[in-house]
Structure formats: C-alpha cells, structure tokens
Amino acid sequence: MQKNNYVFVITGAAGSGKTTVANYLQEQYHMHRVITHTTRLPRPGERDGIDYHFETPETIKKLHLLEQVTYDQSQYGSSVEGLEEGWHNGQNDVIVLDTAGAITYHQQLGSQAVIIFLTVTHMKTLARRMTLRGDQNAAIRSRLKSKEYHRDLMLPPMLKGIAHVVVNDQWKETKNQIDAIVKQIVSV
C-alpha cells in the first residue's frame, strides 16, 4: 500500500453526521470517497456505486475485503482496492465506518488512518435526525434496538487518545473543528 496518503475514517452512531462530514471532506478538500459494500437495502434516494455498492449475502462473500462487520443484521465491508483508488490518484481518502471498522483501520494502518469520532450532546437528536433524513419508522426502530447502535454511542476504549472527538451539535462549529483537524494532519 502507498504510504504517503491518509484515510480519514469517520465513525460514530447512526445519525451523528458521518455522511455529512464525509461529503464535506470530499467537496472541500477533494478527498476520495471510499464506497463500501453492504447487504442492507437502499434507502429512498440512495444509488448503487455512489452511496454504497449494494450486495446480496452471496455477492458480498465473493469480495476480497480488508474488514467486514455485521451491523443491525446487515453486513458491511470495505476493500483495499477502494482505498488504493484514491491514493493512486494522489488523493487522501475518506471512509465512513462503524467503530469496529475504525479500530481495525487503526490496527492495520496506524497513523495513516485519521479517526474522527462524531457524537452529539443529546442522544435524542440522533433519532430526530434519522426521521428528518427520511428514514422509515421501522428502520429507525430497528437501528435504535440494535446492539451496534448502542455500542457506537460511546468512543471505544481502544480509540481513546487516538480518535479526534467532534461534538456535532452545530454544523458551523463542526466544520471549524474538521478544518482544524485536516490542517493539522496535512501540514505535518
């Protein structure tokens, strides 16, 4: 793997703003978005190859994945090829992962993986944002009941002192914090 570029790993609970931050890094800093694979069904408006590579339990088995997790009964995974696509073009990558994936990236890539953990002050905000995003009620209920959702509300002990923690209450403030993290990393 090429050593001179970074992958910004955006992690945190459902609704914490991971996709929003990833889109910002893509637009503002021309980062390469690593599209991951999932067996979950597309949400209204989600497009294959843009939001996710949508897979079946059979097709996901055939992929060569760097890591793979089960999250709320669906499978998700990311490939080395996805990472290298951006690095070959001289870009930094951005990827959205659950906290188990973020730990694996840290273990495999060390400081080349810049982990950003998103949270909010009031956890009720998360469900409200999922509703505003247009998620179906049944999907939200399933998320909120899943053990992975509850696990990802807190920074995992293994990422303490490693991850940059950003409280995404006010978007303007979040943007300033993300800008500061990017500047700190890319200027080294």
Ligand X SMILES: Nc1nc2c(ncn2[C@@H]2O[C@H](COP(=O)(O)OP(=O)(O)O)[C@@H](O)[C@H]2O)c(=O)[nH]1
Contacts (Cβ under 8 Å, ≥6 apart) of 16: 118, 119, 120, 126, 168
Please, what is the minimum distance in Å from the beta carbon of residue 26 to ligand ADP? 12
Give all strands (DSSP E) within the chain, no chain letters. Answer: 7-12, 32-33, 37-38, 53-54, 65-71, 74-79, 93-96, 113-119, 164-167
Residue closer to ligand ADP (CB basis): 61 or 141: 141
Which residue, 87 or 148, is less far from ligand ADP as judged by CB?
A: 148
For the chain, state the CA radius of gyration.
Answer: 16
Q: Which of 68, 78, 79, 168 binds ligand ADP (CB under 6 A)?
A: 168
> Which of these ranges, 12-20, 70-78, 86-94, 142-150, lies near ligand ADP under the rule CB under 6 A?
12-20
- CA angle, corner 187, sides to 92 and 108, nearest 5? 45
Task: Report if residue 16 touches ligand ADP, rule: CB under 6 A.
Answer: yes
- When asked if residue 103 is in the footprint of ligand X (CB under 6 A), the reply is no
Axis crossing angle, helix 124-133 with helix 137-145, rounded to the nearest 10 = 150
Residues 70-109 that bind ligand ADP (CB under 6 A): none
98 binds ligand X (CB under 6 A): yes
Q: Which parts of this chain interact with ligand ADP (CB under 6 A)?
A: 12, 14-20, 129, 132-133, 168, 170-171, 174
